[in-house]
Amino acid sequence: MKIDDFSAQSLQYIFVNYISRNVKITTDKWRGYSPIEKAYNITQIRK
């Protein structure tokens, strides 16, 4: 899915609508993931 910007709000929309809360997610340390980190099983690693 294409998003118009890189805001946490746009990213959160994708997570809520397309990603199960039961999966394990690994991301980079981009701070845009911070607002959804507690709702999802997100592990952030430095690239």
| Tally of domains within the chain | 1
pTM of the model: 0.69
pLDDT at 19: 93
Which residues have C-beta within 8 Å of that of residue 29, sequence separation ≥ 6?
44, 45, 46, 47
Determine the pLDDT at residue 6: 79
pLDDT over 90 (residue 42): yes
Q: How far apart are the first and last CA of the chain?
A: 23
Domain residue limits at 30: 21-47
Compute the average pLDDT of residues 9-31: 91
Whether 29 maps to a domain, the answer reads yes
Q: Please check whether residue 27 lies inside any domain of the structure.
A: yes
pLDDT higher than threshold 80 for residue 1: no
Q: Does 35 reside within a domain?
A: yes
